[in-house]
Amino acid sequence: MLRLRRMLSITLATFGTMYLVLCVAVFSLQRSLLYPAPQRAQPLSEGGGFSRLPLEGSLYVDLFHLPAPPGAPTVVHFHGNGEQLLTQTGLGTLMHERGLGFLAVEYPGYGASPGSPTEKGLYAAAEAALTWIRAKGVTVQQTVLSGRSLGTGVAVEMARRGHGARVMLVSPYTSIPDIGASAFPFLPVRLLARDWFDTASKAAWVPQPVLIIHGEEDDLIPVAMGRKLGTLFPHAVVETVAGAGHNDVLEDMARVRKHRMASFALGEP
């Protein structure tokens, strides 16, 4: 009996140690998972819509800006965690063809931008970009905040701070810990999370009209999260895309979802 108890104690201690090591590994590596940060060896050359925005210290991020026609809105877009600024030019061109301005903001540590991405750092870059576009004469009422996947958390935080008149969210999540808890239900994700992007808790403080687009077959951010957020924002419309997953929700036939975003940004029904 004593031997059995000793074996049981050793087994429990071994599993406890393994579990603790796993928790430490998740805590240490979570930002590399959350921010894959596609990178380039060379900085973007200024011109053709590209420019560089200085941040605090020696940091900077790149911008891609297509000015709006006089009096038209400008879409300020925050991309997903596996994207970078160069992949936003197609969306920007389409928005510009529809009579909108477009501004995409790189994240610290992405592309050729120095630094490391964090929730605080992404917010700082976003706010600096919005300050920059204000200096260009684009007012709050002419600003439409847009985000995809990870970027939806940035867009919502900027909306909560009063930076835009309308908000567009593609594949949004309720919070990063909610996603983590869904993927790793056996881990204390909420105790380990370093970056929360807690959209659900902020939704009630976003009075702007919100358009949510979500793929019904999204296996990374469940469509249920998009639907839930639709009930939390005071003024939200949720449009789900049958057959679309996480990465192809804006790439459906005839680019209809991108055109839907442009119509919403222009205030059209």
Domain holding 206, by residue range, is 48-265
> What pLDDT, on a 0 to 100 scale, did the predictor assign at position 254?
45
- Residue 129's identity, in one-letter code, is A
Judgement on whether residues 64 and 91 belong to the same structural domain of the protein: yes
- CATH code: domain of residue 187: 3.40.50.1820
Tell me: do 26 and 103 sit in the same domain. Answer: no
**What distance in Å separates the CA atoms of residue 89 and residue 69, rounded to the nearest whole number?**
18
Classify residue 222: in a domain, yes or no: yes
Any bridge partners for residue 51, and if so which?
Answer: 63
**What was the pLDDT predicted at 184?**
83
**Within a domain: 41:** no
Per-residue DSSP letters for 75-137?
EEEE--TT--GGGGHHHHHHHHHTT-EEEEE--TTSBT--S---HHHHHHHHHHHHHHHHHTT
152-200 pLDDT per residue, tens: 999 999 999 999 999 999 999 999 999 999 888 888 988 999 999 999 9
Q: Is residue 43 part of a domain?
A: no
Active-site annotation, residues: 149, 218, 246
* pTM score above 0.85: yes
Q: Is 218:169 a contact under the CB 8 Å cutoff?
A: no
19 and 133 share one domain: no
Residues 11 and 105 in one domain: no
Averaged pLDDT of the chain: 90
My answer on whether 152 and 100 are in the same domain is yes
